Chains A and B, each alone.
Chain A
């Protein structure tokens, strides 16, 4: 059984909503990332989404764009990201790690090599924002050879027909992008999210996570009421920006926010 599957089964048993923090690997410096991952688990993270920096993050708002830029000042590469996950796995062999990013670094490495190296580092899944299933068959097949899950996005604009198609190729969990826009942008319409959630659940038994637009304990709680997992990104990454000159302060600042959100989710 994959780590993701095992995690969601145990969460379901415990009646607990999954909290999935997003941070960009190597932001603001490489040495921050692995300790931060461990700290986030202690603060209540169930799955970690680790961003692979890219020079042209088209789906991201200014906060995560800047995180990529900071990480790229040190040339944080896919190889570096694998090394971080490997180090994380020396201590934590349970918390699933999802790599999130754009296709080109993977394309240049080669799908087969990516899948092999990701699996041997202890990565569990890959989410490539700019790879829809129509273009993704080859990539998905390579991931499958190593039991890595391809995570696909569903958006407010996704038709029911496409929801069915996406659900048929996805594994691990489904990621619902709750707003039309880039990361860290607009405000959330919880009612609309609930409607879409129902449509998605008609097509899949997979757990459904919701991301984009979750800013604090209150919005996490209202989304947690309808979703299996809540993804939080920009509010956390803002802390890396605020403390970029004092990297030791990044993890405590991020974990303080996570703890609060954890508390709100546990009160459901």
Chain B
């Protein structure tokens, strides 16, 4: 009997210490312990408070524009000649990605806790923009840490954050990408722990972040479940989402975890290929370790040093992954696959040309996997793919690949 068969509830994780099996937990310095306990208490009370939940729902509806559509991609389905493809349109959210679902939740919590200053790390800049956006709205001071290299490749989002009143701090240490931005945000938090709320952008970090961010993002899957029942009259056969830290993916997956007939695919960034040293696919090609407050799969060397990752998409360029995904992989409930830079670009162009939707390069990894998966399935089967964000921010990267300079 596989582990999957012996588990009948995949939705009751984590335990009260934040463990998803052997993963997750709280691996942080003592200085942050009190703040993390305060946050845990605040979140535990908020999530049971109808007033908090109503405010969250209200903002998702009127500020973000939810529910986001579940769109049947007819042309693309016909082109691929296999399963019916439904696209969950998180790109249509205010600020252009799923990230805002989470920043609204955390900002409401920060407000409830009386914190006047918020900080965030960002890779693609989408989480930074989503944080700067809610900070502007709540009149909070906002500092965003961003790797110097990512500042280069996501210039548009950097300027958006500045327009929104945030301070963007370039991080030069280490590999100057997302993981280093997270390190620097942690250092800020340790230093300003009394008045600062750290809005983590994905299902990583110490407990309660992985569970809390999942809960906020689960709106994606709850809506998709209702929408597919309405449109197709049944549950999907497969779910597909890209996995950086894993927040858009777990947001889609979580409400379906106990539906045994629904296959779940998380798509990591293979960069130049997982057989090379240049990728960002810890679940496909990494080992367990401890980083950024939790135990999970990491891309690391035999001495436990974290290795620089590579992906064409800044938002997937991270050596770790949320601990719940690590657990879902080990117990066999979800399958994790990898898509390389070239395949992702092809997915980007396909969906742009065939469906008139310009996806983020992160999301393009999920779309590229659909182009492989759909033809292997029957025409009466259904795939839901999460289109986590829009691609405007990536135009420069795509153009540069085609040799075009603006």
Tell me, rounded to whole Å, the shortest Cβ–Cβ distance linking A204 to chain B: 15
Contact with B along A93-104 (1 / 0, CB 8 A): 000000000111
Residue of B nearest to A154 (CB): B30
Determine if B173 is an interface residue (Cβ-Cβ < 8 Å): yes
Q: Which residues of A contact B29 (CB under 8 A)?
A: 58-59, 129-130, 153, 155, 177
A55 contacts B174, C-beta separation under 8 Å: yes
Q: Which residues of A contact B163 (CB under 8 A)?
A: none
Contact with A along B22-53 (1 / 0, CB 8 A): 00011111111111000000000000000000
Tell me, rounded to whole Å, the shortest Cβ–Cβ distance linking A55 to chain B: 4
What is the bound-complex CA distance between A181 and B187, given in angstroms?
7
A162 contact from B33, B305, B306, Cβ within 8 A: B33
Determine if B378 is an interface residue (Cβ-Cβ < 8 Å): no
A59 contacts B305, C-beta separation under 8 Å: no
Contact with B along A25-66 (1 / 0, CB 8 A): 000000000000000000000000000001111110110010
Which one of A54, A102, A109, A130 has the highest number of Cβ atoms from chain B below 10 Å of its Cβ? A130
Contact with B along A136-160 (1 / 0, CB 8 A): 0000000000000000111111110
Contact with B along A107-136 (1 / 0, CB 8 A): 111000000000000000000011110110
Task: Choose, from B131-139, B262-270, B287-295, the stretch at the interface.
Answer: B287-295
CB within 8 Å: A-B pair count: 124
B17 contact from A62, A75, A134, A156, Cβ within 8 A: A134
Determine if B304 is an interface residue (Cβ-Cβ < 8 Å): yes
Determine if A106 is an interface residue (Cβ-Cβ < 8 Å): yes
Q: Which residues of A contact B35 (CB under 8 A)?
A: 157
Tell me, rounded to whole Å, the shortest Cβ–Cβ distance linking A190 to chain B: 19
Q: Which residues of A contact B180 (CB under 8 A)?
A: 56
Determine if A182 is an interface residue (Cβ-Cβ < 8 Å): yes
B302 contact from A108, A130, A162, A185, Cβ within 8 A: A108
Determine if B179 is an interface residue (Cβ-Cβ < 8 Å): yes
Residue of B nearest to A176 (CB): B30
A180 contacts B190, C-beta separation under 8 Å: yes
What is the bound-complex CA distance between A186 and B30, given in angstroms?
17
- The B-contacting residues of A in range 63-92, CB under 8 angstroms, are 65, 69, 72, 75, 77-79
Determine if B397 is an interface residue (Cβ-Cβ < 8 Å): no
Q: Which residues of A contact B17 (CB under 8 A)?
A: 134
What is the bound-complex CA distance between A62 and B291, given in angstroms?
19
Tell me, rounded to whole Å, the shortest Cβ–Cβ distance linking A242 to chain B: 19
Residue of A nearest to B298 (CB): A104
Determine if B8 is an interface residue (Cβ-Cβ < 8 Å): no
B290 contact from A130, A134, A154, A157, Cβ within 8 A: A130
Tell me, rounded to whole Å, the shortest Cβ–Cβ distance linking A8 to chain B: 22
Query: Given known contacts A108-B300, A109-B304, is B26 in contact with A159 (CB within 8 Å)?
Result: no
Tell me, rounded to whole Å, the shortest Cβ–Cβ distance linking A81 to chain B: 10
- Residue pairs across A and B with Cβ atoms less than 8 A apart, 19 shown, are A56-B174, A56-B180, A58-B186, A58-B187, A69-B173, A69-B174, A105-B304, A107-B288, A107-B295, A108-B304, A131-B27, A134-B25, A135-B25, A135-B27, A157-B34, A162-B33, A166-B30, A177-B30, A182-B190
Closest 6 pairs between A and B when the two form their complex, measured CB to CB? A108-B304, A105-B304, A155-B31, A181-B191, A157-B34, A77-B303
